[in-house]
Amino acid sequence: MTMAFDPKLFEPSPEPEIPPGIDVEAEIERLRRTRNAVILAHYYQAPEIQDIADFVGDSLDLSRKAAATDAEVIAFCGVRFMAEVAKILSPDKTVVLPDARAGCSLEASCPPDEFARFRRAHPDHLAITYINCSAAVKAESDIIVTSSNAEHIIRQIPADQPILFAPDRHLGAYLARRTGREMLLWPGVCIVHERFSEREIVKLKAKYPDAPVAAHPECPESILTLADHVGSTSSILRFAAETPAKTIIVATEPHIIHQMRKVRPDKTFIGAPGADGNCNCNMCPFMAMNSMEKLYVALRDLKPRIEVPEDVRVRAVQPLERMLEMSPKGAPATDLSMIGEHRETVSADSPVG
Ligand code: SF4
């Protein structure tokens, strides 16, 4: 099933006009200091944004970072729901998103009023919700999860407790298979991970028989059955670094390959293709809306700001805090020292994913 989305969802904000003579990178550095700002970036951001960030990570890493930072300004280079999480967890801080139009197909496929109706129709179910959703949907949820911690958290729920899972049906189905739990699934999709082509991956595997496939659980089951490793972005990154294989086929948003090449310049990473045999069609159009120029303007003008209505924030913070409490503790770090270029590394209790 392919979902139809409003084409307006894919329209970025216009690129800002930068006055001549401005060195955007130097200005970002200056503003980072003068604004007491921290720049957080997701692995799916463009390489130049990853390279200028104080911290690069997956959704869980970034949530933890947003909750713990003492910076006054958080410049969130990711998509809107991630910046909202930063605002929910750090309400006194100014949170800016370089392009306020940077949404997510999973967020768009789960309108809050429809989700609230779904919940009311299943009052005995615990609502476990993937972090890729709006603040308003989080406010209607019992526990938020990321792909790093979802299985660990679901395994803590008593076996007789019915669960509904939203909004990613592929991640939900994967978790149901992993945990042996039946779950009611919301039918949302990530348009990026849905596009990988089973036929093209089979062709790649034939061409590179020693190359393992690492896939994100937002992919459909037909792709995951071809994978040698399934995990969150941090987990895929770690697998790519640690596997003895010299060539790895990567079935997630291809910008993560930037970090893989930094960690293991001796290895070859191949982005899994879509149906046209090209991996570029799997780039996230929402993550791509951010640019260095928009980041500069966001730090300069302190907008676009992300705001969450206080009544929504107060309800949304509870399932997020439950997530942080129920996440794995003392697991091996996402060892970003091996990733090298980060200004700061993930905390020691970062999950395995
Ligand atoms: S990759 Fe998929 S889940 Fe992630 S932001 Fe893009 S559309 Fe949303």
In a mutational test of the pocket of ligand 1, which residue from 129, 137, 192 has the highest number of ligand atoms less than 8 Å from its CB? 192
Identify the architecture of domain 107-185 in CATH. Answer: 3-Layer(aba) Sandwich (3.40)
Q: Say yes or no: CB of residue 81 within 6 Å of ligand 1.
A: no
Q: Say yes or no: CB of residue 189 within 6 Å of ligand 1.
A: no
44: closest CA among 275, 228, 218?
218
Q: Say yes or no: CB of residue 141 within 6 Å of ligand 1.
A: no
Gap between the Cα atoms of 19 and 28, Å rounded = 14
DSSP per residue over 5-41, as a string?
Answer: --GGGG-PPPPPPPPTT--HHHHHHHHHHHTTEEEEE
Bridge partners, 37 (sequence order): 73
Predicted pLDDT of residue 241 = 96
Predicted pLDDT of residue 350 = 31
- How is domain 7-103+286-326 classified at the CATH fold level? Rossmann fold (3.40.50)
Per-residue pLDDT of the chain (353 residues; tens, 9 = 90+): 457 899 999 999 999 999 999 999 999 999 999 999 999 999 999 999 999 999 999 988 898 898 899 999 999 999 999 999 999 999 999 999 999 999 999 999 999 999 999 999 999 999 999 999 999 999 999 999 999 999 999 999 999 999 999 999 999 999 999 999 999 999 999 999 999 999 999 999 999 999 999 999 999 999 999 999 999 999 999 999 999 999 999 999 999 999 999 999 999 999 999 888 776 678 999 999 999 999 999 999 999 999 999 999 999 999 999 999 999 875 433 433 333 333 333 322 232 22
Predicted pLDDT of residue 330 = 53
Could you give the residue range(s) of every CATH 3.40.50.10800 domain in the chain?
7-103+286-326, 107-185, 193-282
237: closest CA among 102, 115, 352, 82?
352
Counts for the chain of helices (H) and strands (E), in that order: 15, 12
Identify the architecture of domain 193-282 in CATH. Answer: 3-Layer(aba) Sandwich (3.40)
Gap between the Cα atoms of 67 and 317, Å rounded = 11
What is this structure's pTM?
0.92
